[in-house]
């Protein structure tokens, strides 16, 4: 019986590396890699060896005969992917795994961040070279997007963090947490103690709508909402309040679906996850029973992935608001497309000018946009109009508005920044001075700050591989300056600068304390929601 890849696929291609018959695609060598929702197993080629399942960091690969419930559809989806795909000749090796240049001395590399992009970079360095790695993060605990960006009910995806535990514990790794690069230590100082610095700092900001009233209380950016229910230390517990009976989320990507699902879920089910207690309490107090996902364009360009939609819990009605243009697109949807998935949903006459009906409902509304937000001390309504026709706006009662229109990177201290792309200018991860086009020696980027906020967690594996290969090539070419300071000296510098420095032992003490809190409550963990709580646990 063949294996199938299911909804929690992270796309990091670990399974591709171990498959002996080349039956998992797209591979990082192929042009469609990163464009599909998940990777797929070819059931006609699979020999049922199980190597891919053992290698998968999120347990997304399962034998077809054990799939149950909502996962059964993935057996069909895996097979359909190969229905019209040309026959392949298995390559002897995958070129994307080749690290490239060999360096004649051990490098010292600082990696800023501990999210997937940064951690993959550290992992590549430790596995493929004899480099010594220094990891720094402004948070007292590691994880980045896995800890703070993955929805609490995505338990298998959250287990992805275990992949990097090895790198954090490696004897050639030094961990310095609760350190803000740019404030506690500068880029130039990092280079005094390291051959190179790789920034994997993500893209924390959201994109404003640019409409009147957007700054009213009750209007939030999705990164803040996601951080709030994931107990991010930079989002105070009281900063998000869920008002009204209707929430409007601008956008229809995976994050928009995550927010909608969390808000509409039963609190009892959320209390079995690692969701922040303050957020669960707020969901329980909330009167929201309808979430509207507002898309400027039609269903044919909806941004969510198929697995995400399949996660919607029972008891929530999921409908598409009737609209002439949207329905025309649904009626001619190509099989297997996002529009075809939406075409299978019920269509409903949705009157947003009145209170929501009884029960819980998720509404996909296409071809519409918010033109203004209204209210006094907080948002009370939004004006929604057909896209491009603001004079046809109608007033929609709403108590909460969330912008889920994409992420933006923020400037990195000491490096150039492109405001248009919200990235650090680079070529293959090598930071470039935009004024001269010349490389900035020793400076590199990976992840969203490198390529923009595109691609899921696993996409960072190939991204980090490219950056590390660039670092090694530059080292081999003599383009890196040898640091003057020592590893011990760098540790002393940080201990002087950061009184509340969290080392590896204290970092794992915080992790252990959270898991212990969770074990007593029958949950994966109960997170600390502030730096003060984390530091107290670290000391104890």
pLDDT value for 90: 56
Please state the residue numbers annotated as binding site for FAD. 117, 145, 181, 448, 455-457
Question: Does the predicted TM-score (pTM) go above 0.85?
Answer: yes
Tokens (6 digits) for 290 = 């309808």
Please state the residue numbers annotated as binding site for NADP(+). 252-255, 296-297, 308, 455
Residue found by looking up tokens 């464009």 in the block: 35
The length of the chain in residues reads 540
Distances (CA, A) of 429 to 16, 99, 200, 423, 506: 24, 14, 10, 11, 32
If residue 255 lies in a helix (H) or strand (E), which one and from where to where? helix 254-264
CATH topology of domain 108-204+409-502: Rossmann fold (3.40.50)
pLDDT value for 76: 87
On whether the CB atoms of residues 12 and 461 are closer than 8 A, the answer is yes
Interstrand relation of 360-366 and 290-295 (parallel, antiparallel or unpaired): parallel
Tokens (6 digits) for 409 = 């990177």
Instruction: Name the region of 394 (left: φ>0; alpha: ψ -120 to 50; beta: rest).
Output: beta
pLDDT in tens, the chain (540 residues): 689 998 888 888 889 888 888 899 998 888 888 888 889 999 899 989 888 998 888 888 999 988 887 788 888 889 888 987 877 665 555 656 667 777 888 999 999 999 999 999 999 999 999 999 999 999 999 998 889 888 898 887 777 778 899 999 999 999 999 999 999 999 999 999 999 999 999 998 999 999 999 999 999 999 999 999 999 999 999 999 999 999 999 999 999 999 999 999 999 999 999 999 999 999 999 999 999 999 999 999 998 888 788 778 889 999 999 999 999 999 998 887 888 889 999 999 999 999 999 999 999 999 999 999 999 999 999 999 999 999 999 999 999 999 999 899 999 999 999 999 999 999 999 999 999 999 999 999 999 999 999 888 888 999 999 999 999 999 999 999 999 999 999 999 999 999 999 999 999 999 999 999 999 999 999 999 899 999 999 988
pLDDT value for 57: 86
First to last CA, the chain: 51
What is the Cβ-side half-sphere exposure of residue 132, based on CA atoms within 13 angstroms? 14
Q: How far apart are CA 218 and CA 445, in angstroms?
A: 35
CATH of region 3-96: 3.30.70.20
Tokens (6 digits) for 517 = 């809190």
Residue found by looking up tokens 């409409």 in the block: 211
Domain ranges within the chain, ordered by starting residue = 3-96, 108-204+409-502, 209-405
Q: How far apart are CA 132 and CA 422, in angstroms?
A: 30
Residue found by looking up tokens 């212990």 in the block: 516
Distances (CA, A) of 531 to 63, 105, 273, 456, 510: 42, 38, 21, 27, 11
Q: How far apart are CA 417 and CA 440, in angstroms?
A: 13
Q: How far apart are CA 506 and CA 168, in angstroms?
A: 12
On whether the CB atoms of residues 459 and 11 are closer than 8 A, the answer is yes
Q: How far apart are CA 152 and CA 108, in angstroms?
A: 36
DSSP assignment of 62-93 equals: EEGGG--GGGGHHHHHHHHHTSSPPP----SS
Closest-CA residue to 111 (of 408, 470, 464, 474): 464
If residue 487 lies in a helix (H) or strand (E), which one and from where to where? helix 487-497
- Superfamily (CATH) of domain 209-405: FAD/NAD(P)-binding domain (3.50.50.60)
On whether the CB atoms of residues 407 and 453 are closer than 8 A, the answer is yes
């Amino acid at each position: 019986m063949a294996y199938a890849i299911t909804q929690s696929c992270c796309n990091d291609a670990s399974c591709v590396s171990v498959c002996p018959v080349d039956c998992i695609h797209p591979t990082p060598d192929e042009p469609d890699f990163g464009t599909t929702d998940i990777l797929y197993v070819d059931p006609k080629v699979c020999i049922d060896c199980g190597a891919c399942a053992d290698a998968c960091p999120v347990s997304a690969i399962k034998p077809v005969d054990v799939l149950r419930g909502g996962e059964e559809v993935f057996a069909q989806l895996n097979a359909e992917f190969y229905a019209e795909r040309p026959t392949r000749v298995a390559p002897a090796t995958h070129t994307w795994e080749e690290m490239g240049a060999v360096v004649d001395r051990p490098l010292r590399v600082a990696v800023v961040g501990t999210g997937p992009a940064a951690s993959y970079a550290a992992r590549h360095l430790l596995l493929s070279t004899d480099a010594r790695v220094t990891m720094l993060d402004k948070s007292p605990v590691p994880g980045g997007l896995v800890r703070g960006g993955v929805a609490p009910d995505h338990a298998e995806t959250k287990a992805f963090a275990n992949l990097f535990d090895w790198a954090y514990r490696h004897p050639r790794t030094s961990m310095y947490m609760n350190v803000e690069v740019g404030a506690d230590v500068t880029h130039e100082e990092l280079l005094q103690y390291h051959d190179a610095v790789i920034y994997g700092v993500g893209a924390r900001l959201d994109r404003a709508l640019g409409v009147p009233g957007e700054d009213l209380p009750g209007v939030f950016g999705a990164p803040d909402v996601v951080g709030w229910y994931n107990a991010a230390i930079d989002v105070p517990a009281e900063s998000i309040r869920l008002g009204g009976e209707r929430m409007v989320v601008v956008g229809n990507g995976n994050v928009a679906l995550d927010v909608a699902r969390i808000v509409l879920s039963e609190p009892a089910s959320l209390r079995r996850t690692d969701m922040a207690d303050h957020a669960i309490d707020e969901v329980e107090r909330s009167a929201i029973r309808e979430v509207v996902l507002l898309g400027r364009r039609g269903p044919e360009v909806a941004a969510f992935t198929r697995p995400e939609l399949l996660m919607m819990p029972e008891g929530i009605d999921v409908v598409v608001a009737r609209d002439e243009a949207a329905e025309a697109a649904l009626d001619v949807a190509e099989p297997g497309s996002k529009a075809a998935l939406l075409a299978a949903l019920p269509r409903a006459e949705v009157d947003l000018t009145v209170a929501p009906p009884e029960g819980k409902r998720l509404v996909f509304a296409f071809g519409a946009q918010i033109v203004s937000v209204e209210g006094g001390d907080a948002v009370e309504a939004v004006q929604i109009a057909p896209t491009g026709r603001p004079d046809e706006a109608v007033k929609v009662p709403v108590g909460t508005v969330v912008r889920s229109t994409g992420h933006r990177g923020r400037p990195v201290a000491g490096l150039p920044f492109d405001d248009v792309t919200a990235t650090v200018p680079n070529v293959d991860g090598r930071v470039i001075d935009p004024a001269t086009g010349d490389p900035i020696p020793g400076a590199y980027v990976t992840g969203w700050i490198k390529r923009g906020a595109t691609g899921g967690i696993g996409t960072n594996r190939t991204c980090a591989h490219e950056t590390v290969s660039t670092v090694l090539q530059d080292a081999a070419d003599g383009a890196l300056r040898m640091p003057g300071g020592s590893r011990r000296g760098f540790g002393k510098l940080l201990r002087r600068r950061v009184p509340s420095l969290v080392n590896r032992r204290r970092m794992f003490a915080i992790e252990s304390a959270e898991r212990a809190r969770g074990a007593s409550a029958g949950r994966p963990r109960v997170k600390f929601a502030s730096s003060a709580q984390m530091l107290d646990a670290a000391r104890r």
